[in-house]
Amino acid sequence: MDRSKRMVNLFYAGSTLIAWAIFAKTFGLLFGVAGMRNAHLLGKDFTTTTLLGAGAAVALLFWSWRSSQVRPVVNEVADELVKVTWPTWEETKNNSKMTIVVTMIVAMILWVFDQVFGNLTNLILGG
């Protein structure tokens, strides 16, 4: 299996899990508002709303998998991600260090400006 197909499959698996969680919470909210009983099916964590959320997530998965509009876009994104040159661990560490140093320098400059203008304002206003 090539890398872009693996990315597409991971995207669909991850989005299905996220959709399951969102649908389960949404159904739980709707059950609560409607005053319906949310029965425990397999222990206290797997309830009717969890099952309905899983069904809705799988339905969304199949719809998006077979959609003539969604599937090509996901494939194109995966193909483009394969072409990306990811930084090495050394480059990531160096860029992180540089970001921290520059942030500290800018913070010090802003602190100096704050002190100068704060004292100037107190001097002018007599504070």
- Cα dihedral across residues 55, 17, 13, 77: positive or negative: positive
In angstroms, the CA 2 to CA 89 distance is 24
* pLDDT reported for residue 127: 66
The answer on 64 and 92 residing in a single domain is no
In angstroms, the CA 91 to CA 37 distance is 55
Q: Running along the chain, 127 residues long, what does each successive block of 10 average in pLDDT?
A: 75 89 91 83 82 92 85 83 88 97 98 96 87
The answer on 53 and 10 residing in a single domain is yes
Counting the structural domains of the chain, the total is 2
Whole-Å CA distances, 88 to 35, 51, 81: 54, 42, 16
The last residue of a domain, from among 49, 64, 82: 82
* Locus of tokens 């964590």: 45
Tokens of 25: 């919470």
Rounded to two decimals, the pTM is: 0.59
Nearest CA-CA partner of 54 in 15, 8, 19:
19
The answer on 64 and 18 residing in a single domain is yes
Point out which residues pair with 40 in neighbouring strands: 47
**Amino acid symbol at 43:** G
The answer on 93 and 69 residing in a single domain is no
* pLDDT reported for residue 99: 98
Domain that residue 74 falls in: 3-82
The answer on 75 and 24 residing in a single domain is yes
